[in-house]
Structure 1
Amino acid sequence: MRIRLLCCLPFMALASCETVNTTQGGAVGVDRSQYMFSALSSAEVDQMAAESYNEMLAEAKAAKVLNTDTAMLKRLNRIADQLVKEVDHFRPDAKSWNWEVNLIKSDQLNASCMPGGKIIFFTGIVDKLQLTDDEIAQIMGHEIAHALREHGREAISRAYTTQMGTQVIGSLLGLGDGARQAADMAVQYGLTLPNSRSNETEADLIGLELAARAGYKPEAAVTLWQKMARAAEGEPPAFLSTHPSSSGRIQNLQNTIPKVQPLYEAAR
């Protein structure tokens, strides 16, 4: 009986969600239906993201590390302008988002695009990896894809349904703290992490297409992740990571490049 209920947990957790399609499939065919918590709107997530974004910028400005490299900022804005022109192939309403690019001086190998189109790059990812414009376009396209697909809203929805599911199964089975922790782990590795890896793969593919449509070389996706793999230390196994393994990610991108190569040729 307990095993049967545990197996039903994902379905119980999704009961308060609705099925949505945030983007069109594009040439790369990203068409997975997404489950979103029905009481959480895109506008609410955008507002939460905007508050976090503004706090980050305020902290960077106070530390005098915001937009200090004007040449790199200009470079990022130029690439962003080209990519944003292509977002309507996946999501027409995104063209009207209030897109913005900011640069923080930091050794971090990181970049992000928050819901609503707020892009942040850290100087370390460009400088340490010696990125070309084509490779920057791949990272930026990847991060833009997360925003287009509303992966942030999806992650919040998963967190809510996961919490709800473990509480329900705990009360049904009378679980103690140790058993409830085991149930939490079952939900994490059986529901949350596979979806997170799926989101990363979707962002890879959509980013690849956005960059190709904007005239950036598809092969740069491969060289980018090769550089990232060399920079990574102690990478966890793919099964226990929210990111695909570097080798798996590179292979998937290589398999998809033929689908977007004609788009790149047309954009040149």
Structure 2
Amino acid sequence: MLEKFTKWKANLAATDLSDQAEEGQLPQHVAIIMDGNGRWAKQKGLPRIAGHREGMKTVTSTVRIASNIGIEVLTLYAFSTENWKRPKKEVDYLLRLPERFLNAELPQLIENNVQVRLMGTTEDLPSYTLSAVEKAIEDTKHNTGMILNFALNYGSRFELVEAVKLIGKQVERGELSADMISEQHIHEQLMTSQLKDPDLLIRTSGEIRLSNFMLWQLAYSEFWFTDVLWPDFKEQDFMEAIAVYQKRKRRFGGV
């Protein structure tokens, strides 16, 4: 893992962050809010869907980089529960992207030992989206490399409400009492129950907010925001985020 990272880090000679980063402190779980596709297209006088199409290329390169340097989990915020509010044409295009990405990249994901997972509600997802994701999950379920976790039709408040409902049913059945409920018990009801919480959150496009993304899980994550629009997010940007993360002292409320 460290040898892989050292090779990637050598490409950061243009920034002094690489010289200050401590090797061996790679984030295990990186989560990304991929923002700025629409603005990228607008700046170029193109329709918004052109930005989403270009952004898919960035997904491909980012997955490759993260897997190559030894990231254990990469969670990508692909479609939120709020994105249904967008124009129907754009929503339809966004929900075609997982199918297009997986049809093109699944062989490479399998070859690179990447395991695909889904986080979100499958309700209302079109059959072509769901079938493509389910096939990728099935075909990669025995892979032992990086977990590529798509947050698709995902919203953190929805997730938390569903977790509360599950706990409420356990209490109703007499399986659990109120004073037995702990942080660990809540964690076990979340869609990420089998994953470590993100160590690093990256958000592109200059926006500085969480947008209903992993509100519980990001409690002690390190945040890195960049003005770079997602279609322009390159290897250099990803590695800069990693280098900044490595400089930070994580205390988790301690000293």
Is the shorter-chain TM-score for this pair beyond 0.5, marking a shared fold? no
Q: So what's the TM-score if we normalise by structure 1? A: 0.27
Structure whose residues are more often helix by fraction: 1
Q: So what's the TM-score if we normalise by structure 2? A: 0.28
Q: Which has the higher contact order (CA 8 A, sep 6+)?
A: 2
Structure whose CA Rg is larger: 1
